Structure 1
Amino acid sequence: MGAMRARRAPGRHRRADAPQATYREVIAIREFRALWYGQGLSLLGDQLAQVALAVLVYNRTQSPLATAGVYALTYLPSIVGGPLLAGLADRFARRAVMLTCDLIRAGLVAAMAVPGLPFWALCSLVFVVVLLSAPFSAARAALVPEILEGDRYVIGSALQNMTNQAVQMLGFAAGGALIATMGPYRALAINAATFLGSALILISGVRRRPAANGESKPSMWTMTRAGAKLVFGSRKLRTLVLFAWLCGFYVLPEGIAVPYAATFDTGTLPVPVITGLLMAAMPTGTVVGAFLFSRFVSPPRRLRLMGWMAMLSCAPLVVTAMRPPLAVVLAAWVLSGIGGAYQLAANAAFVQSVPPERRAQAFGIVQSGLMAVQGIGILVGGFAAERLGPEPVVALAGITGVTCAAVLAMIWTESRGERTARVRAQAAA
């Protein structure tokens, strides 16, 4: 692992008195547009596949645990893939890593779309496909700060986040109706095609770059160990990572959305449609929150509001304990999604603190934990929902999450106060 380069690294924040970046100037950058389009395209196919698997399993088993288990299968492989495979994006050219992952995943998902495939084989293919998302996501996350500088990175991250959530909202909301008409196998075929489309966009829109580590090729174990030491050896980075992992609490409701939808007796809306509405609620809130947070809140104020926004991401879930009607649940989940916009500030602060040549490994470790807490949370939620019902489980997730967020907010405020005092002392000296 090389030391931090002496020149000003891409992705560093502008001075506090510099003007905020705009969406127009970020969209004008060709390479960013390519990453943006490719990610949105493949994500749309993924959402169709997720809804298809969730509805299919619940229809077969009528089991919240089985449904949550299959949904968690889209998260858990990254526990292994994040730490071990993300370093590939530092060892090799990042565009090449992304292209390779896209092409392999396209072939695997195409195999999943073959009718009559045994269920165990389908689950195995899902596992490998998600495993390959670790080096792809790490390469993309490390490449964006090289393309977008300063506050452009925050605006670009917000734009990607809003697009991703909008695609999820569209995929989840329309997924139930589409699966009912086209069937799950055609949805999987569409997902395979989106990976190919993403690869074509990357080839045409992103230029080649050398590997971040140049000629240095440390072992995967060495890179993983060094990345873990970097991420967890700093109090600031540890706190930011825990803020990111807080999403395990407010993502949990999505994993039990199908059994939750079955508790509503609307008389007019079928369970798949209610499921899509529930799963689209948080992404809808995140789109709104990301836009407002990035467009109207200055960079220093984003850091000050991060703890409060984190608490907002979990607190609205508590209302489900009262078993309110569907409209109230949807409104609460939208509000939770708005609070989740704090991740923009956490992500930007994390990027600022990590050397460019080690970003992929650092992002991979964080992403691994991110997927792990979501997958484990969904499994625990499914297990508890079979015994307690979905409503109290969602409320308990909200109570636990807002408590953890409050503790992190206090730690973050204290650490920022210490840094401010040190800066003033140095200025006085």
Structure 2
Amino acid sequence: MAATRPGRLPGRHRRASESQATYSEVIAIGEFRSLWGGQCLSLLGDQLAQVALAILVFERTHSALATAAVYALTYLPPILGGPLLAGLADRFARRRVMIICDLVRALLVGLMAVPSMPFPVLCALVFCVVLLSSPFTAARAALLPDILEGDRYVAGSALQNMTNQAVQMLGFAAGAGVIATIGTHRGLALDALTFLISALILAVGVRRRPPPDPEDGVHASMWSSTKAGARLVFGDRRLRTLVMFAWLCGFYVLPEGIAVPYAATLGDDPRDVTLISGLLMAAMPTGTVIGAFVFSRLVTPTGRLRVMGWMAMLSCAPLIGCALRPPLAVVLALWVLAGMGGAYQLAANAAFVQCVPANRRGQAFGLVQSGLLAAQGIGILIGGAAAQALGPEPVVALAGASGLTVAALLAMLWTESRAEIITRVRTQVS
């Protein structure tokens, strides 16, 4: 328990007594390092692939709708199969699920790298690759609380979030230059290689664990498991609110999906448009890195839960400023500020873990993640269609205003639900 100075008020004394985990504690755990490193490596390859696809489509079509549609294709597959496949993380050993998903994705992305691959087949391969991210992400999310306990889970999540956003920032900012140098197909080949290396890291660095014990000693069918997971997640008011907080990102991620046509309004030369696109795509990840560091290191565990609603509103409010059609520097600042607000997801994630049984984590996280990706994909697709008619600046502003309204409603609902979770977190970290 942390030491406190005499003379503090009782409320401050309680907050000061909350023990916060450090990044060094988390990094010292070998299994976490393996999860962390493999995830960052494969994510870097994914960013190169996303930049390559976005640039390729816009160069061919000069259409904001077509560009957003292909970008949205990286989010939409979970609508169809994600909830069902996520249950694999509660049925089989989670380490094995992750390794198999990485190996299959390496094969599929390798096929995408073939230069003669027809464009419709390429889109189908993208769909399948993203579909496999559902069981992988569910297994990783369910495994992490077993490796990191208490506030170490929040510190580890923050560290993963910061490095993931930093990798996205690097991938988006440098990806355009890399793709311009090596070409789109070699960029996809690099993505396939990252999946292979990730599978090797997981096989070597994460120890074997048995599959989770099923309820009543019998595994239900995948469909029954999916329905039971949906009842668990949406039948509890606290979990429903937390899920809505997670899915709020469908509003504030929309600008990334129309970053290329937005860049076209800020520059005329094709090379300038490419470079500006990379800067815009990197802006929100940059803000999230900053926000995650401040939120995890300078705010107490219960304090994070108290300000979560305000942070959610901050993730959307700055985007409204794009209605004024500001210059590039101001747009970047607004998007970075919105990214900082997105750090509220750390608190929402930690609270969700507190409320879900260990043997149901895979299905629960999978449902949330599938809905999250679906919300992002649908938002980007709608945004692309609207940008085609209205232009990208007003569409980004409308997304910010809509998201702010929803975030304000969620903040009010959260005020009614957070007391029990705050008490539980205070007991755990004191």
Q: Corresponding residue for 1:285? A: 287
Contact 2:73 2:127 in 1 (8 A): yes
Contact 2:239 2:355 in 1 (8 A): yes
1:347 Cα shift?
A: 0.2
| Residues 1:243 and 2:284 aligned together | no
Contact 2:49 2:187 in 1 (8 A): yes
Q: Corresponding residue for 2:201? A: 201
Q: How does 1:74-113 map to 2 (within 5 A)?
A: 74-113=74-113
Q: Corresponding residue for 2:24? A: 24
Q: Corresponding residue for 2:181? A: 181
The CA distance in 2 between the partners of 1:386 and 1:65, in whole Å, is 6
1:267 Cα shift?
A: 6.7
Q: Corresponding residue for 2:8? A: none
TM-score by length of 1: 0.93
The CA distance in 1 between the partners of 2:124 and 2:218, in whole Å, is 34
Cα distance per residue 1:325-345 (max 9 Å; x no partner): 000000000000000000000
Q: Corresponding residue for 2:353? A: 351
Q: Corresponding residue for 2:303? A: 301
Contact 1:81 1:135 in 2 (8 A): no
Q: Corresponding residue for 1:314? A: 316
The CA distance in 1 between the partners of 2:172 and 2:271, in whole Å, is 15
Q: CA RMSD in A?
A: 1.6
The CA distance in 1 between the partners of 2:293 and 2:105, in whole Å, is 31
Unaligned 5+ segments in structure 1 are: 1-14, 422-429
SS for the counterpart of 1:270 is: helix
**Which amino acid is the alignment partner of residue 244 of structure 1?**
A
The CA distance in 2 between the partners of 1:253 and 1:220, in whole Å, is 35
1:18 Cα shift?
A: 4.2
Q: Corresponding residue for 2:7? A: none
The CA distance in 1 between the partners of 2:70 and 2:105, in whole Å, is 18
**Which amino acid is the alignment partner of residue 68 of structure 1?**
A
1:78 Cα shift?
A: 1.2
Q: Corresponding residue for 1:162? A: 162
Structure 2 vs 1, CA of residues 266 and 326 (structure 1 numbering), >3 Å: closer, same or farther? Answer: farther
The CA distance in 2 between the partners of 1:419 and 1:187, in whole Å, is 44
Cα distance per residue 1:361-419 (max 9 Å; x no partner): 00000011100100000000000000000000000000000010000001111233588
| Residues 1:50 and 2:50 aligned together | yes
Structure 2 vs 1, CA of residues 419 and 78 (structure 1 numbering), >3 Å: closer, same or farther? Answer: closer
Structure 2 vs 1, CA of residues 168 and 420 (structure 1 numbering), >3 Å: closer, same or farther? Answer: closer
Structure 2 vs 1, CA of residues 108 and 177 (structure 1 numbering), >3 Å: closer, same or farther? Answer: same
SS for the counterpart of 2:220 is: coil
Seq. identity, %: 73
Structure 2 vs 1, CA of residues 177 and 418 (structure 1 numbering), >3 Å: closer, same or farther? Answer: closer
Q: Which moved more, 1:264-273 or 1:222-231?
A: 264-273
The CA distance in 2 between the partners of 1:383 and 1:266, in whole Å, is 22
Unaligned 5+ segments in structure 2 are: 1-13, 424-430
The CA distance in 1 between the partners of 2:347 and 2:18, in whole Å, is 17
Q: Aligned match of 2:400 in 398, 403, 407?
A: 398
**Which amino acid is the alignment partner of residue 411 of structure 1?**
L
**Which amino acid is the alignment partner of residue 332 of structure 2?**
L
Q: Corresponding residue for 1:273? A: 275
**Which amino acid is the alignment partner of residue 405 of structure 2?**
T
Contact 2:351 2:421 in 1 (8 A): no
**Which amino acid is the alignment partner of residue 112 of structure 1?**
M
Q: Corresponding residue for 2:211? A: 211
The CA distance in 2 between the partners of 1:170 and 1:182, in whole Å, is 17
Q: Which moved more, 1:265-274 or 1:347-356?
A: 265-274
Q: Corresponding residue for 2:368? A: 366
| Residues 1:190 and 2:190 aligned together | yes
TM-score by length of 2: 0.93
The CA distance in 2 between the partners of 1:414 and 1:45, in whole Å, is 42
Q: Corresponding residue for 1:152? A: 152
The CA distance in 1 between the partners of 2:211 and 2:221, in whole Å, is 15
The CA distance in 2 between the partners of 1:333 and 1:405, in whole Å, is 17
Cα distance per residue 1:341-361 (max 9 Å; x no partner): 000000000001000000000
1:43 Cα shift?
A: 0.1
The CA distance in 1 between the partners of 2:84 and 2:270, in whole Å, is 48
Contact 1:91 1:216 in 2 (8 A): no
Contact 1:162 1:290 in 2 (8 A): yes
Q: Corresponding residue for 1:9? A: none
1:265 Cα shift?
A: 3.0
The CA distance in 2 between the partners of 1:420 and 1:268, in whole Å, is 51
Contact 2:90 2:362 in 1 (8 A): yes
Q: Corresponding residue for 1:328? A: 330
Contact 1:89 1:360 in 2 (8 A): yes
The CA distance in 2 between the partners of 1:185 and 1:116, in whole Å, is 10
Cα distance per residue 1:257-276 (max 9 Å; x no partner): 00000000377961111000
1:203 Cα shift?
A: 0.7
SS for the counterpart of 2:266 is: coil
**Which amino acid is the alignment partner of residue 182 of structure 2?**
M
Contact 1:97 1:136 in 2 (8 A): yes
Q: Corresponding residue for 2:73? A: 73
Structure 2 vs 1, CA of residues 61 and 328 (structure 1 numbering), >3 Å: closer, same or farther? Answer: same
Q: Aligned match of 1:222 in 221, 224, 227?
A: 224
Structure 2 vs 1, CA of residues 267 and 51 (structure 1 numbering), >3 Å: closer, same or farther? Answer: closer
Contact 1:80 1:368 in 2 (8 A): no
